[in-house]
A and B are shown apart, each in its own frame.
Chain A
Amino acid sequence: MKFRLMFAAAAIASLVVAGCGSSSSSSSKSASSGGSSGGKCSASIGIEAPITGKVAVLGDEQLHFAELAVQMDNAANGTNISLVQGDTQLTPSQAVTVTQQFISNSKIVAVVGPAGSQEVLAVGPLFTRAGVPFITGSATKTTLTGGQFPTFFRVVSKDSVQGPEDAGYINAHLHPKALMIVDDQEAYSTGLVSAMAPVFKAAGVSVDHESVSQTVTDFSSLVSKVTPATTVVVLPWQVAANAQQFGRNLAEQHKKAVIFGTDGLYSPGTFTIPGSYVSSFGPDITAIPADSTIAQQAKAKYGTFGTFGPPVFAATHVIDQAIASVCKSGQTPSRSNVLSAIKQTDESSSILGQPIKFDSHGDLIGAKWFLFKIGPKGAYQLVTNS
């Protein structure tokens, strides 16, 4: 009995510690939102990100950059905006639960996220019905901005831009006669494959389309199918460590195919196979002089980062500015007036190295696409952006 009580107490204590840990890492504050508190412009923003689970490394980065944006914008605008965390684990069902919580929290006037296209599809109808504006920093499925979710925006390019651009680059510069393309069974990945496949087909490239779950960590059987004629393997994946292992398996079997990855594979500390390419919807902000302050602060506070954080910073900043402009006009921030303000966003520059303005469907006008090549020592070099 004594042991049982001790174990239960230890378990509860550790959960409390875990809870404290996660809240202390957030910039969330308990201040009331959606109004003025002591003359300050107050509101709450929700963030939906995969803070735990298989891609927690990406979600953590997104959360950190959202926190940084709120902190910097509060200081610059004199606002009192707080951030409410929602962990979606990159699963639509979990995203729906978090979304319902956010919708029922009347203090939340806008949401950053969710991260995955499959999640946007799941939560879009809920946010639309509740009139909550939401801006993703990483969901790229083309059809998301087809008009069915009028309160949805994104600050990154969509698959119909990135997919054909990637495929076109591969055809033009890597000249494959045969290639293998492996999706990871998530909407993000299958969406990019759908956008790339017609371009390869039109160029007469023989394509072996394979599919593996994100949870798989051994690709040796798949790599055995890479023939000498297969000179490129395309991995539109979200887990960089998996691509690293794929590269190891290629080397283990002495195969020379070049890996061409996307977005989630941008991870200089993790995916380091020399000669590989990574296309990304986000820039390497450490190479943008105007972003040096943000990059330094992010590195000092959270360590190394990739390309998933900066777009979320941009998304959060758009909402922060919208809230500030609502307050400036003498109104109290609400979902509808913040939505109107977001629609009118017109920033001449941003952390992404480009202006931010949305078209009528919520897409970023002139969204860029970036391509990096990994050098002999694992360093990422920008090849092109368009």
Chain B
Amino acid sequence: MHFFVQELVNGLTTGSLYALVALGYSMVYGVLKLLNFAHGDLYMVGAYIGYFVIQWFGGASAVSIPVPLLLLIMFLLSGVGVGALGVAIERFAYRPLRDAPRIAPLITALGVSFFLENAALLLFGAQYRIYNTPEFISFNIGIHVGPLQIDIVRILVIVLSVALMVGLRLLVTRTRLGKQMRAVATDREAAEMMGINVDFTIAATFFIGSALAGVSGVMAGLVFNQVNNTMGFLAGLKAFTAAVVGGIGSIAGAMLGGMLIGIAESMITGYISSTYTNLIVFGILIAVMLVRPSGLLGRVQLQKV
């Protein structure tokens, strides 16, 4: 039982990160029908910002401010910084192509992804940056029952992720901005005719989605310790898969997809073998897509003929 719970917590941790990144994919797809392949790289930028904040305040072994304040600054700076980067990317790389054939922004998104990855290589070098989280947050804080070991960082990641997901859900369903986002996602032209500022709404969507990626990058740094310029690729791929499985365009679907992939990976590694993790996980995903092509919580799109 302990082993099961341990694997469940491991899976929930990685699943939370996949889910947060998947939310950005899903939101952007919802309003623009664009697969923003640069989204994983925003997660990488967020992780770097978190790392440099730690260095600013004395480094992992000599943090000069209280740890909760440090974490707050890391999350805030990363969220705002990466959110702003997302808005800039939308403004300069995607907006000019909004009415172009859909393949054009897709290729541009791939280009932006490589651009960010290599810009990080040029700016920060090839070496791995290590968060060294245990230096300022002890492993001994957390839940320790027999062989079950859940440290405070994992608890923080799961709780914060769930809070962000709930907050996003409330924003989309209960606020004026959320209503505008849903209107733009449903019919951009009609929304514009109804007086909605489409450019602002899309920019706000990019800001929120990118900020979530930035925050999840900091969480990844805290849990997995390492940051380098290529880390966004796999995370982006897994998150994109999560978004598709959950039903791309669906916020609840992105959360569900992320959690499912994280837990499936963890359970297969724990109970079968790490050798077959990707094989089985993606096999399950193919099966899900065959049964529900629009994803677990996705809506079937009606085509006008």
Interfacial residues, chain A to chain B (CB-CB below 8 A)? 1, 3-4, 6-7, 10-11, 14, 17-18, 21, 51-54, 56-57, 59-60, 182, 210-213, 215-218, 220-222, 224-225, 239-242, 244-245, 248, 251-254, 269-270
Contacts and interface: CB of A to CB of B under 8 A. Distances in A.
B228 A241 contact: yes
Given A59-B126, A221-B265, A54 B230 contact: yes
Contacts of A252: 134, 139, 149, 151
Given A18-B122, A221-B266, A224-B7, A6 B127 contact: no
B10 A221 contact: yes
Nearest to B117: A52
Contact of B226 (A21, A60, A224, A242): A242
Contacts of A240: 128
A57 B6 contact: no
A270 B234 CA distance: 21
Interface in B138-193: 139, 144, 147, 149, 151
Contact of A3 (B13, B92, B119, B127): B92
28 contacts: A3-B91, A7-B96, A14-B115, A14-B119, A18-B118, A18-B119, A51-B126, A52-B126, A57-B127, A57-B128, A60-B126, A210-B275, A211-B273, A211-B274, A211-B275, A215-B230, A215-B233, A215-B234, A218-B13, A218-B223, A222-B269, A222-B274, A224-B6, A239-B128, A245-B224, A245-B225, A270-B127, A270-B128
A304 B120 CA distance: 20
Given A215-B234, A221-B265, A241-B228, A6 B92 contact: yes
Chain A to chain B: the 10 pairs with minimum beta-carbon distance, closest first:
A56-B126, A241-B128, A221-B269, A211-B275, A241-B226, A7-B92, A220-B10, A4-B96, A217-B224, A221-B266
Interface range for B: 35 or more
B106 interface: no
Nearest to B224: A217
Contacts of B224: 217-218, 245
Interface in B103-134: 111, 115, 118-119, 121-122, 125-128, 130, 133-134
B278 interface: yes
Interface of B: 3, 6-7, 10-11, 13-14, 91-93, 95-96, 111, 115, 118-119, 121-122, 125-128, 130, 133-134, 139, 144, 147, 149, 151, 220, 223-226, 228-231, 233-234, 265-267, 269-270, 273-275, 277-278
A275 B143 CA distance: 26
A233 to B, nearest CB: 13
A224 B270 contact: yes
A53 to B, nearest CB: 6
Given A21-B122, A210-B275, A215-B233, A245 B226 contact: yes
Contact of A212 (B14, B91, B231, B274): B274
Nearest to B9: A220
Contacts of A60: 125-127
Contacts, number: 115
A301 to B, nearest CB: 14
B139 A251 contact: yes
The secondary-structure label for the interface of chain A is: helix
Nearest to B10: A220
The secondary-structure label for the interface of chain B is: helix
A253 B6 contact: yes
A217 B7 contact: no
Contacts of A53: 230
A222 B233 CA distance: 22
A51 B130 CA distance: 20
Nearest to B265: A221
Contacts of A7: 92-93, 96
Nearest to B3: A224
A18 B122 CA distance: 7
Nearest to A212: B274
Nearest to A223: B10
Contact of A217 (B11, B125, B139, B226): B226
A78 to B, nearest CB: 34
Contacts of A21: 122
